[in-house]
């Protein structure tokens, strides 16, 4: 099978959100061939280079989302009219207004329920005909169409309140979001030649899969370990009209993606509820938990022996959503009853000045709540550290990073204490919590996102933004080592059952076959005369039978005439199909069994009803 893997800001780049699990997926499915189509988010990401690619990756095509070459404004009256109709209808769908295309009739699109999708594909077809739409989307005509949609009857209240600066901001964001329309990825030698498109995230990556489905009928699989629309709601900033219009666009793009996808795979039930609320059909959804690397039992046991029974550990990226402020106040409450309790905060700040500023705020709060640190620094930081094994010196709080002395890896970070704490106010899939479970650690976490689903009774869960509840749960575990051991063992057993790389790969392997079984093979293999060769690409199926003789001949995948002949075009890294080597004539009984098996395979390819296959015991077995 040939898979088109669609990514945005991730694989195959070294830095990115989806790079790790995509790399594990590609390496775990070595029986398939992968073409990677990657959208980069910044020039820095492109300069950092790619991860080492396995041999099953036959092609990599990249395009930047952070910049685009202005290809000019569309020329010709008919072309301008097509653009006005399509973009005007898209803007009207985003603003919630009636049809404002201008030059065409109000019934320019047949199905009003599909107005957003119809307008989107009309723009895509125009971009394909004209070689791109970057200049047109940046033009004054596009801005005027957006303004007319905002002022039209029936428009959203926030859209009617939009001013000229708001319209400029929305038009610029729409142009960036629609840049995949101008790519040349959708030809027969590009995404049109793959058997399945797998979008590793929603948004722009899924948009390229939508266009491949529209132009070439390629089935689309969408995986969202973080729902893009939810992330926008949590992080969007700016004036209300801008947020409302861009949320409307992203919501309708997500709904169109879920409607056209053959299958949607969220990482947890929390993400599934978001997808269903955005329009995804329940029958299309398959929950596939992320897979993480598993440590050996011996390493886990050794880490448990080294753990400090009075130390709490927090691991993650330091940002406001993690609510370290609440955790520091909880530690102050814990130390009233457990004076030896300490906290190790292990992680790096989020990118940008806001992340560094939040780290300084947390450090200042720690110094205010626990003034021992300031006293220790006044007496000499080096001396205090030599007298105290704890990295924070005289303070019960330390700020560290993976890679520092004593913390060469993630396993050592979770082994630094006896209880792992998660204090977030917003989480999608808590990766740090799963890592702690795989390390056999007892956990205390806040009830947000998919935390309760992941924990499943193997840890303590408390309400968010409650330092008192967080302190009470941590104190209970610090005082009870036997309970910590029981919870840690149960957490590791649960993580090994649900959150391993092997389980993740097996789930996607089955989903690939399930999708392909419902879509016909679109590639054509030609014979010597240039005509189509039936069964030139056999279906991927297993035909069970039993050999009655000790001498087992080599079974052919199909008749010789079905696998010989030139392939119409061999993409880079692929070899044309060749006939298997001739084998010696089998015994008469084996020949009859093989002939019957080939009949079963041909029936599967033609999508006919299976025929019972006789076995040596005389019973019938249906070929699948």
Q: What pTM does this model have?
A: 0.77
Average pLDDT over residues 530-539: 64
Residues 549 and 595 in one domain: yes
In this structure, the answer to whether residues 550 and 432 fall within a common structural domain is no
Give the DSSP letter of residue 200.
S
2 by DSSP, 3-state: which?
Answer: strand
Interstrand relation of 612-614 and 620-622 (parallel, antiparallel or unpaired): antiparallel
Looking at the fold, whether 450 and 563 belong to one and the same domain comes out as no
Q: 12: cis peptide before it, omega within 30°?
A: yes
* Number of residues assigned to the chain: 624
- Half-sphere exposure for 133 (CA within 13 Å, toward CB): 29
Distance of alpha carbon 83 from alpha carbon 119, whole angstroms: 10
Work out the percent of the chain whose per-residue pLDDT is above 90: 54
- Give the pLDDT confidence score for residue 544 in this predicted structure: 45
Residue 487 near residue 471, CB atoms below 8 Å: no
Q: State the DSSP string of 207-226.
A: HHHHHHHHHH---EEEEESS
- Quote the CA–CA distance of 454 and 289 in Å, as a whole number: 9
Residue 619: pLDDT above 70?
no
Question: What pLDDT, on the 0 to 100 scale, is given for residue 97?
Answer: 63
**Three-class SS of residue 349?**
strand
Residue 584: its pLDDT value, please? Answer: 41
290 within some domain: no
- The pLDDT tens digits of the residues spanning 142-191 come to 999 999 999 998 888 889 999 999 999 999 999 999 999 999 999 988 99
Domain that holds residue 325: 297-499
Give yes or no: residues 380 and 477 share one domain: yes
- Same structural domain for residues 367 and 446? yes
Residue 116 clears pLDDT 80, i.e. is over it? yes
Phi, psi of 202 (to 5 degrees): -85, -160
Instruction: Compare 90 and 570 and report the one with higher pLDDT.
Output: 90
How many distinct structural domains can be found in the chain? 4
- Residue with the bigger pLDDT between 549 and 372: it is 372
The closest alpha carbon to 227, from 282, 187, 279, belongs to: 279
Residue 149 and residue 128 in one domain: yes
Q: Are strands 220-224 and 196-199 parallel, antiparallel or unpaired?
A: parallel
Instruction: Tabulate helix, strand, coil % of the chain (nearest 5).
Output: 45, 15, 40
Instruction: Tell how many helices (H) and how many strands (E) occur in the chain.
Output: 25, 14
Domain final position from 128, 156, 175: 175
The reply to whether 568 and 492 lie within a common domain is no
Measured torsion, CA atoms of residues 578, 579, 582, 588, in degrees rounded to the nearest 10: 160
Are 343 and 471 in the same domain? yes
Of 496, 498, 495, 590, which is closest to residue 547 (Cα–Cα)? Answer: 590
Evaluate if residue 422 carries a pLDDT over 50.
yes
The per-residue pLDDT for 16 is 74
The enclosing domain of 488 has a CATH number of 3.40.50.2000
Q: Evaluate whether residue 505 is within a structural domain.
A: no
Which pLDDT band holds residue 304 (cuts at 50, 70, 90)? low
What's the CA gap between 349 and 357, in Å, rounded? 9
Among the candidates 175, 207, 227, a domain finishes at 175
pLDDT tens readout for residues 32-66? 999 999 999 888 899 888 999 999 999 999 999 99
What are the angstrom distances between the C-alpha of 428 and each of 24, 466, 493? 21, 20, 22
Residue 289 covered by a domain = no
């Amino acid at each position: 099978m040939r898979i088109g893997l669609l990514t945005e800001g991730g694989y195959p780049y070294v830095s990115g959100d989806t790079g790790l699990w995509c790399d594990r997926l590609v390496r775990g499915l070595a029986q398939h061939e992968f073409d990677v189509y990657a959208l980069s988010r910044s020039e820095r990401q492109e300069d950092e280079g790619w991860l080492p690619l396995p041999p099953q990756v036959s092609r990599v095509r990249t395009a930047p989302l952070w910049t685009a070459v202005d290809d000019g404004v569309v020329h010709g009256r008919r072309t301008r009219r097509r653009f006005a109709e399509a973009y005007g209808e898209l803007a009207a769908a985003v603003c919630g207004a009636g049809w404002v295309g201008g030059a065409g009739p109000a019934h320019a699109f047949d199905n009003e329920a599909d107005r957003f999708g119809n307008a989107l594909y009309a723009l895509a077809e125009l971009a394909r005909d004209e070689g791109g739409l970057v200049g047109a989307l940046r033009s004054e005509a596009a801005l005027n169409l957006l303004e007319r949609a905002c002022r039209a009857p029936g428009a959203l209240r926030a859209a009617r309140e939009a001013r000229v600066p708001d319209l400029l901001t929305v038009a610029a964001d729409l142009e960036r979001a629609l840049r995949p329309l101008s790519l040349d990825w959708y030809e027969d030698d590009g995404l049109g030649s793959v058997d399945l498109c797998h979008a590793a995230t929603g948004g722009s990556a899924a948009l390229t899969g939508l266009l491949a489905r529209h132009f070439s009928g390629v089935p689309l699989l969408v995986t969202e370990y973080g729902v893009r629309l939810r992330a926008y709601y949590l992080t969007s900033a700016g004036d209300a009209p801008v947020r409302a219009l861009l949320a409307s666009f992203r919501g309708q793009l997500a709904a169109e993606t879920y409607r056209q996808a053959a299958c949607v795979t969220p990482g947890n039930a929390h993400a599934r509820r978001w997808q269903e609320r955005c329009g995804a059909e329940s029958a299309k959804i398959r929950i596939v938990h992320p897979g993480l690397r598993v440590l050996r039992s011996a390493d886990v046991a050794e880490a448990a022996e080294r753990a400090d029974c009075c130390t709490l550990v927090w691991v993650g990226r330091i940002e406001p959503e993690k609510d370290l402020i609440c955790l520091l106040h909880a530690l102050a409450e814990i130390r009233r009853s457990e004076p030896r309790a300490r906290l190790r905060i292990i992680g790096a700040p989020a990118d940008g000045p806001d992340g560094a500023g939040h780290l300084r705020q947390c450090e200042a709060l720690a110094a205010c709540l626990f003034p021992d640190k300031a006293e220790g620094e006044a007496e000499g930081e080096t001396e205090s550290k030599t007298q105290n094994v704890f990295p924070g010196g005289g303070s019960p709080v330390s700020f560290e990073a993976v890679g520092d002395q004593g913390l060469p890896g993630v396993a050592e970070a979770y082994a630094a204490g006896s209880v792992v704490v998660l204090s977030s106010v917003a989480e999608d899939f808590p990766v740090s919590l799963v890592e702690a479970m795989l390390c056999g650690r007892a956990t205390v976490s806040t009830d947000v996102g998919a935390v309760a689903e992941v924990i499943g009774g193997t840890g303590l869960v408390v309400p968010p933004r409650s330092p008192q509840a967080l302190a009470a749960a941590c104190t209970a575990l610090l005082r009870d080592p036997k309970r910590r051991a029981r919870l840690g063992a149960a957490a590791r057993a649960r993580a090994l059952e649900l959150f391993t790389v092997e389980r993740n790969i097996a789930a996607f392997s089955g989903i690939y076959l399930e999708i392909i079984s419902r879509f016909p093979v679109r590639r054509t293999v030609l014979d010597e005369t240039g005509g189509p060769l039936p069964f030139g690409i056999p279906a991927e199926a297993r035909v069970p039978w039993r050999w009655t003789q000790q001498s087992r001949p080599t079974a052919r995948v199909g008749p010789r005439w079905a696998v010989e002949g030139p392939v119409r075009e061999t993409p880079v890294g692929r070899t044309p199909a060749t006939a298997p080597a001739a084998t010696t004539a089998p015994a008469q009984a084996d020949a009859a069994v093989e002939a019957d098996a080939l009949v079963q395979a041909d029936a599967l390819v033609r999508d006919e009803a299976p025929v019972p296959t006789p076995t040596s015991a005389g019973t019938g077995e249906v070929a699948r």
